[in-house]
A and B are shown apart, each in its own frame.
Chain A
């Protein structure tokens, strides 16, 4: 079963460089982030081989949060070949996230 990728400043650029990637910027203290955590895991399984599903712990990766101008979490950024092509702020349903990913495939 597909698993989401844990991103750090080390592997971020290389991971989003090719194809479609959904990145969930989250933090352990954030209620809505915790709410969507199981949704992210299911998406990773559903989109295995089609899109990359990834997470950034903004508590540990503050540079990445600053770089992408994150000021509210969960913030979900959609990348296509390294470029940010769409984004969402706040918790949403699995279907809503899937629709955004499918729009880029």
Chain B
């Protein structure tokens, strides 16, 4: 029987593991199907985590520094995907992909979110063949070529800037005429000569052939269509919450969630089920920042420690 099962190995899960084990829990396992690190490892820059201010470093460099520390106090890593969590009586059953069941006294779910698809024609067909959601992964394949970026938030503009240093031209398509991204990022993007902002416009269709994408059709608010012959299209239009581990066999949630599938928690990261906590990007009101996810993880782990002590 585990004292605590932590599901998901991003900043929230790693920090929860660090706090739970350093706080004295002996039997704590972090379930993550590969090397921990989370979505931030796909980010080309991180300059808003206090204490880490190295302009040339990426999200992957940043998370490298977490590994040794978070596993130092006895946190164990199981490289398995969790199918779902359920509670019977006092305890939780964590069901793994291979059908194996692991029992735990408490569970912290921090499965984060996944980049959303925008829903234009051809997106699924060409995903991985010109349509991408990871600029640090795939920008390299468009060296000195023009690319299109879809979106207007922080990720879209940060990654457009990153791509502008690799690609010949970067066309940013955004459905509004103002950007949600941080003002400093917007300014930096506007100053970059090879970034072209196309506002009040949407992507109608991505075009391609057997070799992959070779263009995009863009529609402005008057309905006029223009075509950009760019072989790469990077989509940054927000995220979907990864909440499937909290669904039962019938698809209902085992704890309270809101209309967007985010998990309802209180300020202690407690869900509506006793002993079950949620942390990081998947919870309600999540600012989706590494520093917040880490804080959530710590909060949840401290609660778990008290919970286990109360249980005796």
User: Taking beta carbons and an 8 Å cutoff, which residues of A are in contact with B?
Assistant: 27, 29-39, 42, 58-59, 65, 69-75, 89-96
Contact = CB atoms under 8 A, between A and B. Distances in A.
B49 interface: no
Given A35-B35, A37-B35, A70 B141 contact: yes
A39 B78 CA distance: 11
A2 B43 CA distance: 33
Given A39-B33, A70-B141, A94-B33, A29 B58 contact: yes
B140 A38 contact: no
A39 B35 CA distance: 8
A15 to B, nearest CB: 23
Given A29-B140, A71-B232, A35 B41 contact: yes
Given A71-B128, A71-B213, A72-B134, 20 more contacts: A29-B58, A31-B43, A31-B59, A31-B137, A32-B134, A34-B37, A34-B41, A35-B35, A35-B41, A36-B35, A39-B34, A42-B79, A69-B211, A71-B132, A71-B141, A72-B132, A94-B33, A94-B79, A94-B80, A95-B97
Nearest to A98: B98
Interface of B: 33-35, 37, 39, 41-43, 58-60, 79-81, 97-98, 127-130, 132, 134, 136-138, 140-141, 211-213, 232
A35 B80 CA distance: 12
A94 to B, nearest CB: 7
Contacts of A32: 41-42, 134, 137
Nearest to B213: A71
Contacts of A30: 134, 136-137
B141 A90 contact: no
8 contacts: A31-B137, A34-B41, A37-B35, A39-B79, A71-B232, A73-B137, A93-B33, A93-B34
B79, B129, B130, B141: most-surrounded residue (chain A CB, <10 A): B141
Nearest to B126: A71
Contact of A31 (B60, B80, B140, B213): B60
A90 B132 CA distance: 10
B128 A75 contact: yes
Contacts of B97: 93, 95
Contacts of A59: 140
A80 to B, nearest CB: 21
A89 B129 CA distance: 9
Nearest to A90: B128
Contacts of B58: 29
A72 B138 contact: yes
Contact of B128 (A31, A65, A89, A91): A89
Nearest to B82: A93
A35 B140 contact: no
A33 B129 contact: no
Nearest to B35: A35
A31, A69, A73, A75: most-surrounded residue (chain B CB, <10 A): A31
A38 B129 contact: no
Given A30-B134, A93-B33, A72 B79 contact: no
A71 B143 CA distance: 11
B188 to A, nearest CB: 21
A94 B212 CA distance: 28
Nearest to B132: A72
A72 B219 CA distance: 26
Contacts of A90: 128
A29, A91, A92: most-surrounded residue (chain B CB, <10 A): A29
Contact of A29 (B35, B60, B79): B60
A75 B129 CA distance: 10
